[in-house]
Amino acid sequence: MSQHTSKRPKIIFLFSDTGGGHRSAAEAIIESIHLEYGVQIQTEMIDVIKNYTPLPLNRMPELYPSFVRLPRAWELGFHLSNGRHRVRLLYSGAWPIVRKSFRQFVFQNPCDLLVSVHPLLSAPVLRAMGTKKHPPLVTVVTDMATAHASWYHRDTDLCIVASQEAYQRALRAGLQPEQVVEIGLPVANRFCYPPGDKVELRQKWGWPVDKTLVLLVGGGEGMGPIEHTAHAINAECKDAALVVVAGRNQRLKERLQAYSWSIPTFIYGFVREMPDFMRAADILVSKAGPGTITEALIAGLPIILYSRLPGQEDGNVSFVVSEGAGLWAPRSNQIVLAINRWIEFPDERARVAATCLRLARPHASRDIAHLLAARVGLSQPIEEMNPSTV
């Protein structure tokens, strides 16, 4: 890889839109770099799979939603490929296909530091750079606990993980302790403020202030049994109010809007106000995505998980349940029982909320930004260099 010659160090983030978590993690870290270091560091995000790999690999981002709607196949693929030696064999088999693409990427993108937030990118990039002098490569694992072995390449300069389980998996995959650091999952700065005034936030959107408010989400794509779950809550949770975020699933949103609800119910598509939605709510019902769980912990929002990607998100469920931050309720009758219990016993719900806040790591994005800045020769954020800076 050519050396970057600008006076300002440059960090390139390698990602792919195979699931929203990779892009959002990169954006959260970049946001924190700019908040902490201003224009001292250049940053760039590159979807390597979409922009560099040949057909049909470059279509993975658009095909990803179809893959995850086949949970049995996803689980089989996860477990069959999850292992140090299996991953090595898969990469060796794919190398002749992607060799030209990744060497082209390396040649065209000089920088001072590479940061991979995707499990499939570290190995081919490192191989494309070869034995020549190259910028360091840092991997930020965006799965919370049961991360696939493909995340952990023994030649990565540093691997940043979100939990102790992910840390132990990195060691079992062959990384040395000095190569791995547990910091937390990076999320956007707007999620990282303390919980706000629920009454004021609810009044802003016209939501009832005298009801237990349930926030039902399925990620940015509106995945999972949202519609069936919403109908069950409507039928069985008479003392609740319901906010449903359908994401980009326009058909789901339209069906929900056309339904006649018996409890106060508010339907939204893709929203930018999710941090305040979480701060205003009392209970979150969600799929077990690591980003959503991390954001809920910061908001002190008790969690009911109703679906997960088998293998990849199993550890997320175990983490939430074992730590006391929420419940696993894969069937609608279990969801309504959990909601009604927390309505009937608010002190129990308050204890879960307190546990969420204890587990939260709202500074993870900035901690990662500081670590990356140190790798490119900057050790002080701008406010530390200039105390008068607000």
Question: Which tens digit of pLDDT belongs to each residue from 191-214?
Answer: 998 877 999 999 999 999 999 999
Rounded to two decimals, the pTM is 0.92
d(CA 249, CA 226): 11
User: Is the separation of the CB atoms in 162 and 182 below 8 Å?
Assistant: yes
CA distances for 99 relative to 14, 47, 59, 150, angstroms: 17, 17, 17, 18
How many other CB atoms are there within 10 angstroms of residue 214's CB atom?
27
Site of tokens 């132990």: 168
Position 389 confidence tier, pLDDT thresholds 50, 70, 90:
very low
- Mean predicted confidence (pLDDT) in 77-92: 93
User: Structural domains in the chain?
Assistant: 10-189+363-385 (3.40.50.2000), 193-359 (3.40.50.2000)
Residue 235: what residue type? Answer: A
If one counts every other C-beta atom within 10 angstroms of the C-beta of residue 176, the result is: 10
| Alpha carbon distances (Å) from 256 to 227, 238, 253, 333 | 7, 18, 5, 20
Count of residues making up the chain? 390
> pLDDT above 90 covers what percent of the chain?
81
In the prediction, which pLDDT does 71 show? Answer: 82
Please tell me the predicted confidence (pLDDT) of residue 252. Answer: 93
pLDDT reported for residue 384: 52
- Higher local confidence (pLDDT), 108 or 388: 108
pLDDT at 221: 63
Rounded distance between C-alpha atoms, residue 360 and residue 347, angstroms: 20
Q: What per-residue confidence (pLDDT) applies to 195?
A: 78
Question: Residue 387: its pLDDT value, please?
Answer: 37
Q: Which has the minimum average pLDDT: 53-62, 112-121, 165-174?
A: 53-62
Band the pLDDT of 72: cuts 50, 70, 90. confident
Residue 184 is predicted with a pLDDT of 97
Q: Is the pLDDT of residue 218 over 90?
A: no
Average pLDDT over residues 139-163: 96
In this prediction, residues 82-93 reach a mean pLDDT of 93
Least confident of 5-19, 176-190, 233-247: 5-19
Residue whose C-alpha is closest to residue 301's, from 315, 287, 281: 281
pLDDT at 68 > cutoff 90: no
Cβ distance 163 to 193 under 8 Å? Answer: no
Quick one: pLDDT at residue 20? 65
pLDDT in tens, 326-338: 999 999 999 999 9
Residue bearing the bigger pLDDT, 387 or 81: 81
Side-chain-side CA neighbours of 368 within 13 Å: the count stands at 36
Residue 146 to residue 169: CA distance in whole angstroms: 8
At 270, list the tokens: 């893709």
Task: Single out the residue of 341, 225, 331 nearest to residue 283, CA to CA.
Answer: 341
Instruction: Give the contacts of 55 (CB within 8 A, at least 6 positions apart).
Output: none
Distance between CA atoms of residues 364 and 186, nearest Å: 5
Question: Rounded to an integer, what distance in angstroms lies between the CA atom of residue 83 and that of residue 81?
Answer: 6
Task: Compute the distance between CA of residue 280 and CA of residue 275 in angstroms, rounded to an integer.
Answer: 9
Q: Compute the mean pLDDT over every residue in the chain, rounded to the nearest whole number.
A: 92
User: What is the SS3 assignment for the chain?
Assistant: CCECCCCCCEEEEEECCCCHHHHHHHHHHHHHHHHHHCCCCEEEEEEHHHHHCCCCHHHHHHHHHHHHCCHHHHHHHHHHHCCHHHHHHHHHHHHHHHHHHHHHHHHHCCECEEEECCCCCHHHHHHHHCCCCCCCEEEECCCCCCCCHHHCCCCCCEEEECCHHHHHHHHHCCCCHHHEEECCCCCCHHHCCCCCCHHHHHHHHCCCCCCEEEEEECCCCCCCCHHHHHHHHHHHCCCEEEEEECCCCHHHHHHHHHCCCCCCEEEECCCCCHHHHHHHCCEEEEECCHHHHHHHHHHCCCEEEEECCCCCCHHHHHHHHHHCCEEECCCHHHHHHHHHHHHHCHHHHHHHHHHHHHHCCCCHHHHHHHHHHHHCCCCCCHHHHCCCCC
User: Across residues 264-272, what is the average pLDDT?
Assistant: 95
How far is Cα 256 from Cα 69, in angstroms, rounded to an integer?
A: 21
